[in-house]
Amino acid sequence: MKFFIDTADTAEIRDLAATGLLDGVTTNPSLVAKSGRDFIEVVQEICEIVSGPVSAEVAATDHETMLAEGKRLAGLAPNIAVKVPLTPDGLKTCKALSGEGTMVNVTLCFSPGQAILAAKAGATFVSPFVGRLDDISTPGMALIEDICRIYAQYPDFKTQVLVASIRHPMHVVEAARMGAHVSTMPPNVIRQLFAHPLTDKGLAAFLADWEKTGQSILGDDKKVRSVSHG
Ligand code: G3P
């Protein structure tokens, strides 16, 4: 499963990119507004930090302007994935851009029917928003399961299921169980995936017992300062 980070905060992207676990980045107009930065500038910086796909969303709603915006965004860097909404004009733009070899991420997907249309339009990624469905008492992960099952029936569908609007680690785990290709998640969810109290407790016990041996793997002159785990 690919891990994308869902933010336009370049400090967070740099920090998590350093783990070597990041495969891409997704942004949207709300995340860019939250960053308080110039859109083109922040997208270009993100594309320099992460070599994987970086989703940058058009702001227009009509095909002609979406296409022009999409071409401008695609020209910013080779790893740009142009994000378009799942509307008739958005899919028309998806078809045109993907036909020119541009990666397209079709976003704001909330039904299996919409996901079929995205695949037919040649989308590189489709972004079903699981958290927003959960927010209205509709099982978001059931949509992911449905889309994965439908896509598996058609080998010529090349669209990757990019699970979005993730709220917690179990969305990621369940998406992986279903075979979704990508999870895009806020920085805190990635960090939550690492965390387990028994890991911390076990490591503290190992370090305490190692300390008692008085030994050093690197040799006494290069002894690494023992890390105390509270
Ligand atoms: O990539 C889409 C994601 O940013 C939407 O998340 O939390 O606004 O539903 P959320």
83 is catalytic: yes
Distance 7 CA to ligand 1 centre (A): 9
Please enumerate in sequence order all residues whose Cβ is within 8 A of that of 175, keeping only pairs 6 or more positions apart, or say none. 1, 130, 141, 144, 161, 163, 166, 183
Shared domain check, 209 and 181: no
pLDDT of residue 230: 40
Report the residue among 12, 132, 166, 189 best suited for mutation to probe ligand 1: largest number of ligand atoms under 8 A from its CB. 132
Could you tell me if 105 and 131 are in contact, meaning their C-beta atoms sit under 8 angstroms apart?
A: no
Nearest CA to ligand 1 atom 8: 165
Give the containing element (helix H, strand E) for 127: strand 125-128
User: How far does residue 142's CA lie from ligand 1's centre (Å)?
Assistant: 18
Same domain, 215 and 153: no
Same-domain check for residues 162 and 217: no
Which entry of 2, 34, 71, 83 is annotated as an active-site residue?
A: 83
Q: Give Dmax over CA atoms of the chain in angstroms.
A: 71
* Ligand 1 atom 5, closest CA: 165
Residue pointed to by tokens 């891409």: 24
Q: Are residues 109 and 211 in the same domain?
A: no
One digit per residue, the tens of pLDDT, for the chain of length 230 reads 999 999 999 999 999 999 999 999 999 999 999 999 999 999 999 999 999 999 999 999 999 999 999 999 999 999 999 999 999 999 999 999 999 999 999 999 999 999 999 999 999 999 999 999 999 999 999 999 999 999 999 999 999 999 999 999 999 999 999 999 999 999 999 999 999 999 999 999 999 999 999 999 998 765 555 544 44
CA 84 vs CA 27, 66, 78, 117, 230: distances in Å: 12, 8, 17, 13, 47
Predicted structure pTM score: 0.93
Contacting residues for 85 by C-beta, under 8 A, at least 6 apart: 57, 61, 106, 107, 108
What is the domain extent for residue 209? 196-230
Question: Which H/E stretch holds residue 200?
Answer: helix 197-213
pLDDT at residue 229, as a whole number:
46
What are the pocket residues of ligand 1 if the criterion is a CB atom closer than 6 Å to any ligand atom? 6, 26, 28, 31, 127, 129, 131-132, 164-165, 184
Same domain, 155 and 121: yes
